């Protein structure tokens, strides 16, 4: 069992999915010979050929639109969007077509499409390379949305996503691509659409997904010595949300902080706060607090550390939840 | 089925040959040649000024690449090899014309009198470009591939309605020609006979993907299908680019509608400083293009025709050194932006909600200063 990076884990997961099912195709810009700008598809075109690992023309609407047609023929396209901010030319295809064709065809045409999206900031990039557009898709009925946070999940979740009969938006925390973990490829995975308690605690529940899971865990570790015990849940699935374990946790801790990089206004945190309030009203000691990006365009990179939630802002919110 | 079945194989260099339609006025060896449709008559002063722009623009690029390597810039998109196309296009613009660049048009920015440091500030991560796009008639850089082509057409429609005699120059790459927005911009420009010239630098690659991944026919031939003329010019020949672009802009200004110009060139460097081209192209390809260098041929012509002497080239060299030093100093001394500025200009009319958020942000930051710690208590992980 060797340690692998998150990027490599997805690469291994894609390889396994392609070996298991000849209908799995990869499509995207620069994913073939180059192996993707993050090297996530490195070596796959060499081993599976240009018909299964397709360097597409530079057009995201084209990628998703043709994926729809391929899915109608029984293929399972896995589309790579090079960076979060470039998914929007494909937005029309995803929201008006991919999301609805199963329902419109009364189940005759399943849209077995995975859209891989490296998302989030923290890499010092220029405009449109650091965004967190997951809420737009989570808001759309017909789409399923997941986000992995670590190499082990990345390896299994990408395979599970590809096996789904529903379209899945698969968000990859790009700033964590180089994080390593031991990967045991023989352990049976847990189901895709389940959240997971990743650190037990009893004072406050911290919810996170994707890149912010690590930050939340660091926050929990930082205050451990001060006698404050944070429980951290990795949401993993954003649509559908799996909030059963979250309700259970919040009923114990009485406090909850939701963290994401995306702007807080009408972000995932807003929906989660509403659901927790509905389900756990009498257990709450404080309102559910949200920590997210500010409601501004993602700023130039010199300002991104101020924009992005970090350990301090998470702990600041935890502290505030104790003032009610 | 494989790509070979449709008669195109990746990296097939015969496909990449420019062909007989290529408009050229200055050969790679620096020899002036005539073209039946495109004439150019430049004074020795103008020719030397063009050479100066080419040389200085290259120097800006080399310096910015070095600054990126030294950690002063987050990233840099090099124009190396495309100076002829960009300076030629820049020279063709009249003051009243508007340019819509991508993210690589540093040479056009230069011609529009945009300070290189105002371009560098974007790549340093300080802002999204600090020049005034309306005053310079040079739009802000656009990173989302192709979107600016529609903006250019709309701007041109505004010109039509104002009855003004200006034109619009829209820049795009070879890869961009695949985008829906770009194709829509061709339809709109055509239907409305908009005063727009599409200036496509075919530098043979869209990151790693060679041109044959985007098109089975030469790009300039596509224009015909949209109902306007397309021409292919030697993008490394600044004189031909200037002549062709001038003529197209003049046609646009006089109500003859759009033109598509394919400037046939080569990206000599990596896509950006984050890219490693050795993964997808052969060094021999670059060696071949080195012989077609856009600056060397002008230099050779100036010398051969006796329009510039050694002292001239020395003065340009000295000016380049000064410019490079100014850029280096200006970059390393560039102040970091005030983080609270991210809340500025989000709306023309600030919302109460965002104002409150900005105030909370200021108070939050101040709390670290109050606690005697200029920075957040626990360093942010990255
Ligand atoms: C809509 C969109 N998709 C993907 C990208 C990522 N990307 C940046 S540059 C580039 C290639 C552009 O190639 P081309 O149009 O030929 O211009 P060049 O970079 O060669 O100047 C790609 C795919 C982007 N910026 N925007
Ligand atoms: Mg190109």
In a domain, B359, yes or no: yes
Q: Does the active-site annotation cover B267? A: yes
Shared domain check, B362 and B285: no
Shared domain check, B349 and B216: no
- Residues of chain B in contact with residue A303, where contact means CB-CB under 8 angstroms, are 337, 339, 341-342
Shared domain check, B267 and B352: no
What pLDDT is stored for residue B369 in this prediction? 76
The segments of chain A whose pLDDT lies below 70 read none
In a domain, B381, yes or no: no
Which two structure tokens, joined as six digits, stand for A153? 């999940």
Do B32 and B298 meet the contact criterion of CB atoms below 8 Å apart? no
In a domain, B298, yes or no: yes
CATH code, B118? 3.40.50.970
Number of domains in chain B: 2
Do A221 and A194 meet the contact criterion of CB atoms below 8 Å apart? no
Shared domain check, B313 and B348: no
- pLDDT tens for residues B143-188? 999 999 999 999 999 999 999 999 999 999 999 999 999 999 999 9
C-beta atoms surrounding B296 within 10 Å: 16
B347: containing domain: 339-370
User: Considering the entire predicted model, what is its pTM?
Assistant: 0.95
Q: Does the active-site annotation cover B347? A: no
Shared domain check, B140 and B80: yes
Shared domain check, B250 and B355: no
Q: Of all helices (H) and strands (E), which one includes residue A166?
A: none
In angstroms, the CA B29 to CA B233 distance is: 17
In a domain, B375, yes or no: no
Shared domain check, B353 and B205: no
Q: Relative to the CA of B172, which ligand 1 atom is closest?
A: 15
In a domain, B75, yes or no: yes
Min distance A186 CA to chain B CA atoms (Å)? 31
Residue B2 has pLDDT above 70, yes or no: no
What pLDDT is stored for residue B373 in this prediction? 53
In a domain, B310, yes or no: yes
Shared domain check, B75 and B108: yes
* Alpha carbon separation from B10 to A63, B218, B245 (Å, rounded): 19, 15, 31
- pLDDT tens for residues B4-30? 343 344 444 433 478 889 999 999 999
In a domain, B241, yes or no: yes
- pLDDT tens for residues B181-237? 999 999 999 999 999 999 999 999 999 999 999 999 999 999 999 999 999 999 999
Q: What are the φ and ψ backbone dihedral angles of A110, each rounded to 5 degrees?
A: -70, 140
In angstroms, the CA B121 to CA B129 distance is: 6
Shared domain check, B84 and B67: yes
Which two structure tokens, joined as six digits, stand for B365? 């930051």
* Percent of residues, chain A, with pLDDT higher than 90: 98
Domains of chain A: residue spans and CATH: 2-183 (3.40.50.970), 196-321 (3.40.50.920)
Interface of B with A in 313-352 (CB under 8 A): 336-337, 339, 341-343, 346
Choose, from B35, B222, B280, B328, the residue flagged as catalytic. B280
Shared domain check, B148 and B221: yes
DSSP state of A210: T
Q: Would the CB of A58 count as within 6 Å of ligand 1?
A: yes
In a domain, B57, yes or no: yes
Shared domain check, B325 and B221: yes
Shared domain check, B348 and B246: no
Contact B209 A127 (CB under 8 A): no
DSSP state of A34: S
Q: Which of A121, A98, A123, A122 is nearest to A111 (CA)?
A: A98
């Amino acid at each position: 069992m060797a340690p692998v990076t998150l990027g490599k884990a997805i690469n291994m997961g894609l390889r396994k999915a392609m070996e298991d099912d000849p209908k799995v195709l990869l499509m995207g810009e620069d994913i073939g010979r180059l192996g993707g700008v993050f090297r996530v598809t490195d070596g796959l075109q060499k081993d599976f050929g240009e018909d299964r690992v397709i360097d597409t023309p530079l057009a995201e609407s084209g990628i998703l639109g043709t994926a729809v047609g391929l899915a109608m023929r029984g293929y399972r396209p896995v589309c790579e969007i090079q960076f979060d901010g470039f998914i929007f030319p494909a937005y029309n295809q995803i929201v008006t077509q991919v999301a609805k064709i199963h329902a419109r065809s009364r189940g005759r045409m399943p849209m077995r499409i995975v859209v891989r999206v490296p998302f989030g900031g923290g890499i010092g990039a220029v405009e449109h390379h650091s965004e967190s557009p997951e809420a737009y898709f989570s808001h759309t009925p017909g789409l399923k949305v997941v986000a992995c946070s670590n190499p082990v999940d990345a390896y299994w979740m990408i395979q599970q996503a590809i096996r789904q009969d529903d379209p899945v938006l698969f968000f990859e925390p790009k700033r964590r691509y180089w994080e390593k973990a031991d990967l045991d490829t023989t352990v049976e995975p847990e189901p895709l659409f389940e959240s997971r308690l990743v650190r037990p605690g009893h004072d406050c529940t911290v919810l996170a997904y994707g890149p912010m899971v690590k930050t939340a865990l660091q926050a929990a570790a930082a205050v451990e010595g001060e006698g404050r015990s944070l429980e951290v849940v990795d949401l993993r699935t954003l649509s559908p949300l799996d909030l059963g374990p979250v309700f259970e946790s919040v009923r114990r801790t009485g406090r909850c902080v939701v963290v994401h990089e995306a702007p807080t206004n009408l972000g995932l945190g807003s929906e989660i706060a509403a659901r927790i309030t509905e389900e756990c009203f009498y257990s709450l000691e404080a309102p559910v607090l949200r920590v997210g990006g500010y409601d501004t365009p993602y700023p130039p990179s010199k300002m991104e550390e101020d924009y992005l939630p970090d350990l301090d802002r998470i702990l600041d919110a935890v502290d505030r939840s104790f003032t009610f | 089925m494989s790509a070979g079945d449709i008669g195109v194989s990746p990296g097939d260099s015969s496909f990449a040959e420019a062909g007989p339609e290529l408009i050229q006025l200055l050969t790679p060896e620096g020899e002036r040649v005539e073209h039946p449709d495109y004439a150019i008559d430049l004074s020795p002063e103008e020719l030397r000024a063009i050479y100066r722009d080419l040389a200085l623009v290259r120097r800006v690029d080399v310096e910015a690449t070095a600054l990126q390597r030294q950690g002063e810039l987050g990233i840099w998109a090099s124009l190396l090899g495309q100076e002829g196309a960009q300076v030629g296009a820049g020279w063709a613009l009249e003051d009243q014309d508007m340019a819509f660049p991508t993210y690589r048009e540093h040479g056009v920015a230069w011609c529009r009198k945009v300070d290189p440091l105002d371009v560098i500030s974007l790549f340093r991560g300080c802002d999204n470009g600090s020049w005034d796009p309306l005053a310079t008639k040079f739009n802000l850089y656009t990173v989302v591939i192709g979107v600016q082509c529609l903006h250019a057409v709309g701007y041109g429609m505004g010109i039509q309605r104002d009855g003004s005699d200006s034109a619009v120059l829209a820049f795009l790459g070879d890869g961009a020609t695949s985008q829906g927005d770009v194709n829509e911009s061709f339809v709109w420009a055509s239907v409305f006979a908009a005063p727009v010239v599409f200036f496509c630098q075919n530098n043979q690659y869209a990151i790693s993907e060679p041109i044959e991944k985007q098109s089975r026919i030469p790009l300039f031939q596509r224009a015909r299908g949209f109902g306007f003329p397309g021409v292919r010019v030697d993008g490394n020949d600044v004189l031909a680019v200037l002549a062709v672009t001038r003529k197209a802009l003049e046609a646009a200004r006089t109500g003859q509608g759009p033109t598509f110009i394919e400037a046939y060139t080569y990206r000599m460097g990596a896509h950006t400083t984050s890219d490693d081209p050795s993964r997808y192209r052969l060094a021999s390809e670059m060696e071949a293009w080195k012989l077609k260098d856009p600056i060397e041929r002008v230099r050779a012509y100036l010398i051969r025709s006796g329009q510039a002497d050694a002292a001239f080239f020395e003065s340009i060299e000295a000016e380049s050194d000064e410019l490079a030093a100014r850029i280096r100093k200006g970059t390393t001394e560039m102040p970091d932006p005030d983080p609270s500025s991210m809340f500025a200009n989000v709306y023309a009319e600030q919302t109460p909600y965002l104002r409150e958020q900005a105030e909370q942000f200021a108070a939050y930051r101040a709390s670290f200063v109050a606690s005697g710690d200029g920075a957040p208590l626990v360093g942010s992980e990255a």
